[in-house]
Structure 1
Amino acid sequence: MTWEQVTIIYQKRWKIEEYHKSLKQNTSMGKSPTKTVETQANHFFSSILAYIKLEKLTLRLGIGHFRLKAQLYLRGLKAMHYMLTKMAA
């Protein structure tokens, strides 16, 4: 194979690696606490759905999955802090 052919194959392979890494780390696919086939299937479906939503946001906002997840997490923490301070007052 030529260098160009190897490069093209590797670029396609790398996209698959990015997909699996994001699916595992950003959608908690690897942290399934489920025991039955039905709950495992639900968790798998939810993870795929979460990945699709992340991908749509990534395309719209132009930022990566990991940065987007961090920003969403930070917004959630801020909202929770606001509600806790509101409840304490």
Structure 2
Amino acid sequence: MEKLLDLYTDYLLSSFGQVTCTCLSRLLNVSQSHDKLTRMLSTNEFTSKDLWEQVKLLVREHESVDACLIFDDTILSKPPYTDENDLIC
């Protein structure tokens, strides 16, 4: 599961648009099924400890006295793609 989680996080970090397990599966030429990816995400509870274990080496590598690490989980609302009209409202 560790390799699959690494693969998924790399996919999230390198993507600019919408991300889905189906798209990742397609990128991998279906070497990992989207069902397997979805199960991994829905059956595991990831805790703060899990996050720390994943990023600890990277954080320590860049650690300094005047450093600051910020986690931003802000979700921005998306503007509508089209204007409202008489048919679509």
Common fold, TM-score beyond 0.5? no
Q: How does the TM-score come out when normalised to structure 2?
A: 0.24
Q: How does the TM-score come out when normalised to structure 1?
A: 0.24
